[in-house]
């Protein structure tokens, strides 16, 4: 009989092939030789996740079960009567326990779909989210009829934003991040998703190590006020702190980006950034004060002001070269 230190609340239910019996003040877990029908496993697992406070427990359980069985989630509905053997229940129990403890579903699955590409997702980078995927759509609409020769993704994380745009526009891209761990993740995704594309990486704090100019600069930078991080969901708190902490107010890093970006934009270059739900007025005001043109505040799928797009500020005209007076005639 296998002894474990977890209490009963943290142990997946007996339907997964385990039984519980107190022994010596600890919880004893014995393997149950009876395998279970898929629907029974699915229902019991969803109930467990619901008790653990996981949002959309049924959907989470479907994803975990499909992952273990190596099938599509929708295929589960054709296999409800199938018996799940212990060889599959064992890894499922571990995933279920970890999900109940707040580990993000995307980390457990190891990948996340973004713009029809499958990105590796783990603790090294921010989990790609639907809001950022929608930003790609907005940018591509804004670029209709034009194509950036060179684009820059600042604070790239997993690389989902820069890689997706590079593939959609056939543009050369530079992915920058201050975290070497995040860049390792981005490089892994480049090798998997876009091995033939012209995409490079550089470790840089915003524009510190960036040279040259770009037709498009995109960024999903940290924008959570520091004091609010502790109030985020336990899943979001698993994202890198560096990717969440936007400073005491939350807009400090974005403001630095807006101040430094013009020096790296082509004359009609475009910036596109994501920000928090309540930061749009302050960020738009800052961009206007810095001279950005053709500002566009765009809403996310929930109807919330979430993105700012703008063209580079006008560059001051270079002074005409001084005209030297003609030399006096030689006597």
Supply the pTM of this predicted model: 0.83
What pLDDT is attached to residue 35?
75
In a domain, 320, yes or no: no
Q: Using CA atoms, how far apart are residues 331 and 329, in angstroms rounded to an integer?
A: 6
Same domain, 92 and 140: no
- Domain closes at, from 68, 102, 136: 102
**Residue 229 covered by a domain:** yes
CATH number, domain at 281?
3.40.50.150
Structure tokens at 219: 């960024």
Question: DSSP class of residue 46?
Answer: H
Q: Backbone dihedral region of 43: left (phi > 0), alpha (psi from -120 to 50 degrees) or beta?
A: alpha
Alpha-carbon torsion 132, 173, 243, 293, what sign?
A: negative
Per-residue pLDDT tens digits of the chain, which is 331 residues long: 333 233 334 556 555 544 444 444 443 333 344 578 999 999 999 999 999 999 999 999 999 999 999 999 999 999 999 999 988 999 999 999 999 999 999 999 999 999 999 999 999 999 999 999 999 999 999 998 888 999 999 999 999 999 999 999 999 999 999 999 999 999 999 999 999 999 999 999 999 999 999 999 999 999 999 999 999 999 999 999 999 999 999 999 999 999 999 999 999 999 999 999 999 999 999 999 999 999 999 999 999 999 999 999 998 766 666 666 666 666 5
Q: Are 121 and 178 members of one domain? A: yes
278 and 221: one domain? yes
Residues 152 and 58 in one domain: no
Q: Are 78 and 163 found together in one domain?
A: no
What pLDDT score was predicted for residue 146? Answer: 85
Domain assignment present for residue 150? The answer is yes
Clarify whether residues 236 and 133 are in a common domain: yes
Copy the structure tokens of residue 11. Answer: 């142990």
Read off the CATH number of the domain in which 79 is found: 1.10.8
The answer on 127 and 53 residing in a single domain is no
Query: What is the domain extent for residue 279?
Result: 115-311
- Domain end: 102, 127, 162, which one? 102
Alpha-carbon span 194 to 41, nearest angstrom: 38
Q: Are residues 148 and 295 in the same domain?
A: yes
- Do 150 and 262 share a structural domain? yes
- The Cα 166–Cα 189 span in angstroms is 13
245 and 281 in a single domain? The answer is yes
Q: Which of 70, 102, 134 is the last residue of a domain?
A: 102
């Amino acid at each position: 009989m296998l002894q474990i230190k977890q209490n009963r609340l943290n142990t997946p239910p007996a339907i997964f092939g385990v039984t519980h019996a107190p022994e010596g003040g600890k919880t004893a877990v014995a393997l149950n030789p009876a395998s279970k029908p898929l629907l029974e496993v699915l229902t019991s697992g969803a109930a467990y996740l619901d008790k653990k406070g996981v949002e959309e427990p049924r959907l989470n359980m479907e994803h975990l079960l499909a992952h273990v069985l190596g099938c599509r989630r929708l295929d589960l509905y054709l296999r409800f009567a199938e018996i799940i053997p212990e060889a599959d229940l064992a890894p499922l129990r571990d995933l279920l326990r970890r999900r109940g403890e707040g580990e993000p579903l995307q980390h457990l699955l190891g990948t996340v779909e973004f713009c029809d590409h499958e990105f590796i997702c783990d603790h090294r980078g921010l989990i790609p989210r639907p809001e950022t995927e929608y930003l790609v759509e907005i940018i591509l609409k804004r670029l209709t009829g034009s194509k950036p020769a060179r684009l820059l993704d600042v604070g790239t994380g997993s690389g989902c934003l820069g890689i997706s745009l590079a593939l959609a526009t056939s543009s050369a891209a530079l992915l920058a991040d201050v975290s070497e761990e995040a860049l390792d993740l981005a490089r892994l995704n480049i090798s998997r998703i876009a091995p033939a594309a012209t995409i490079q990486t550089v470790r840089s704090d915003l524009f510190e190590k960036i040279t040259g100019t770009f037709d498009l600069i995109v960024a999903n930078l940290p924008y959570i006020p520091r004091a609010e991080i502790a109030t985020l969901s336990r899943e979001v708190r698993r994202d890198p702190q560096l990717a969440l902490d936007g400073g005491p107010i939350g807009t400090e890093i974005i403001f630095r980006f807006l101040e430094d970006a013009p020096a790296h934009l082509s004359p009609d270059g475009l910036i596109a950034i994501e920000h928090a739900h309540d930061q749009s007025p302050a960020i738009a005001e800052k961009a206007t004060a810095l001279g950005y043109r053709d500002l566009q505040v765009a809403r996310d799928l929930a109807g919330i002001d979430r993105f700012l797009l703008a063209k580079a500020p006008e560059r001051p005209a270079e002074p005409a070269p001084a005209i030297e007076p003609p030399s006096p005639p030689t006597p």
